[in-house]
Structure 1
Amino acid sequence: MPRKKRSIPVNAMATEFGTGIVIEKFSMSDIEAFGEGTLDNATSVHRHDSHSFFLLKSGTVNITIDFEQYVIKPRSIIYIHPDQVHHAVASEKMVVSSWAITNENLNPEYLKLLESITPAMPLTLTAETFNMIDEAADIFIKLTGHKSDRLHHWLLKDCCNALVALVISQYLKAAKPADKLTRFDVITKSFRELLERKYTNLKRPAEYAEILNISVPYLNECVKNTTGYSVSYHIQQRVILEAKRLLYFSNSSVKEIAAALGYDDYPYFSRLFTKVTGMSALTFRNKNLG
């Protein structure tokens, strides 16, 4: 029997409201009240059309993001980039404040910062910080109801960007302060940002070193000192993540996926996938679709 054509479902979390922005609070009972289709959308694997943030007030959420599993507990925040595929299973007592915003409504400086912290791990907040963000979200949710206000969209945009800024500040606080970054840290950050943009075209460490105007040994020294892994490791991991997404969500052949990721040498790509994941591409596809 031929495989059904698959593509990654995109839940229009923000655009369904017509503004590209949404701020809301909901519980599991709220989701169930909207019907089975809404619950299916929430728990099936999907992407969002926006940058999405979830502040968990109570209950627990088991979430898989790009094939990595996390357990989110109360007083935690998670940011999910539009490229990331995920699905979640929540407890009955779950209460979440959530906001989502599309690229065109997001402050450009915040967008740069979000790109630098992707992928983001769930972040546990102090009681004081959680209450501050939760109270701000509650106030902004009330303001979203003022749809007759001529400045409603701009008010909504400013409110959502303020929440985004609060979340970014927590991720930056958890990271090494900018004034404490070493030369190795700075170069590694530049490499990872470049990798995210160029991984389908550039596969050799020398190509990244040339763009960064440094030698290959020095780039490797910086990256390995900062992350514990070589430049080649990071390149391979980023390519294979995208391959996993395509294997799971598309009906493209492994050869077509290899070509889409910049590999004309299909046998080489197949060997690389097996080396990185411990299984063949077809085995991965069959295992995850089973």
Structure 2
Amino acid sequence: MRQKNKSIPIKTMTAEFSSGISIGKAHFDEQDIMNLDDVRRSHRDNYHSFFLLENGTTEIEIDFQQYTVKPFSILYIHPHQVHRIVALTNVSGSFLRINSEHINPEYLHLLEELAPLKPLMVQEDIFSILANSASLCLTLSARKNQQLYHALLKDSCNTLIGLLTSMYLEGAIPVDKLSRSEIITKAFKASLQSDFLAIKRPAAYAMGLNISTPYLNECVKDVTGYPVSYHIQQRIILEAKRLLYHSDKSVKEIADALGFEDYPYFSRLFTKVTGMSALSFRNKNRD
């Protein structure tokens, strides 16, 4: 039975890792998952999570999408994503949890642009480099009495983050090869991710990018096949779905949380985008 929550649970680092960095090795079998209530239950983290899966198989659900993660794979989970472990089989690998303020600003910017990211399988020799980098981070994390301890740990973890980010970048189009429309669409999506609660009009996004609304719409539709309004609505409804499924807020409370003073309008928008009412979505997807 799903545990009732007034809001989506947010997992924080334990007091042991008050420095904002947690690096370690993980070993779990099928039985262990039964004792991991905090990860089996859908939640958000207040930090960035990186996983290097060396052995075994993990079934993970991220924002209503289920993925099967196999060796040798890397996985990045952004703080805003809702996720849970569904199942695992003889899993071992390395993990890094780190707060935003400790991530190299260039890497953080890239991760914000790339997110959301799917699990990525890499070649075994590349994975070995990543695993060795994680091992160095783990070794340094144990040397707490060493001079410059935190600086060395932070720098080594950022080396790992840089390597992991570069793996995802290999599948992305280089910035210098993006068309004008792709550059504008990328900027719009980044702005949408940070501002969707406060800004809901295409014209406001266009103003923020110093371009006209018709031109923004033309660029976004050319790249994605959908107009600006579609992306705004999809981002809002994704957050609404998260709150409907993972919290026990009323539909009116969810509308308020998403910045809608006009509750009936929010209800109509949800039905228009999903084909069902907000309550129907909740009832259909609840246990």
- Settle same-fold status: TM greater than 0.5: yes
SS in 2 for 1:175: coil
Residue 245 of structure 2: SS of its match in structure 1?
helix
Equivalent residue of 1:263, what SS? coil
Is the 1:14–1:22 contact (alpha carbons within 8 Å) kept by the matching residues of 2?
no
Q: Distance in 2 between matches of 1:282 and 1:86?
A: 22
Residues 237/17 of structure 1: CA separation in 2 closer, same or farther (3 Å cut): same
Letter in 1 for 2:65: E
Per-residue CA distance 1:186-218 (angstroms, 9 max, x = gap): 100110111112212222212211221222222
Question: Does 2:262 correspond to 1:279?
Answer: no
Partner residue in 1 for 2:6: 6
Paired residue type of 1:283: S
Q: Give the SS at the match of 1:236.
A: helix
Equivalence for 2:160? 163
Work out which of the residue numbers 258, 261, 265 in structure 2 matches 1:264: 261
Distance in 2 (CA, whole Å) between partners of 1:160 and 1:72 is 23
- Work out the CA distance in 2 between the residues paired with 1:252 and 1:45: 16
Contact 1:23 1:141 in 2 (8 A): yes
**Structure 1 vs Structure 2 CA RMSD:** 2.1
User: Distance in 2 between the 1:14 and 1:75 partners?
Assistant: 28
Partner of 1:43: 40
Once the two structures are TM-superposed, the CA of residue 132 in structure 1 deviates from its matched residue by: 0.8
Is 1:100 the counterpart of 2:97? The answer is yes
- Using the size of structure 2 for normalisation, the TM-score is 0.92
Q: CA deviation at 1:282?
A: 0.8
Q: Distance in 1 between matches of 2:149 and 2:115?
A: 30
How far the C-alpha of 1:15 sits from its partner, in A, is 5.5
Query: Which residue number in structure 2 is paired with residue 221 of structure 1?
Result: 218
Please report the TM-score for the alignment, with normalisation by the length of structure 1: 0.91
Q: Which residue in the other structure is 2:181 paired with? A: 184
31 and 167 in structure 1: CA distance in 2 versus 1, 3 angstrom threshold = farther
Tell me if the contact between 1:55 and 1:76 (Cα under 8 Å) persists in the aligned partners: yes
Shift of 1:259: 2.1
Contact 1:14-1:102 within 8 A present in 2 as well: no
AA aligned to 2:98 is I
Counterpart residue identity of residue 109, structure 1: E
> Which residue number in structure 2 is paired with residue 76 of structure 1?
73
SS in 2 for 1:19: coil
Shift of 1:164: 0.8
What whole-Å deviation, never above 9, does each CA across 1:201-238 have from its counterpart, x for those lacking one?
A: 22221221122122222212211222222211110111
Paired residue for 2:252, among 237, 250, 255?
Answer: 255
- 1:77 Cα deviation (Å)? 0.9
Gaps of 5+ in 2: none
Residue 260 of structure 1: how far off its partner (Å) = 2.0
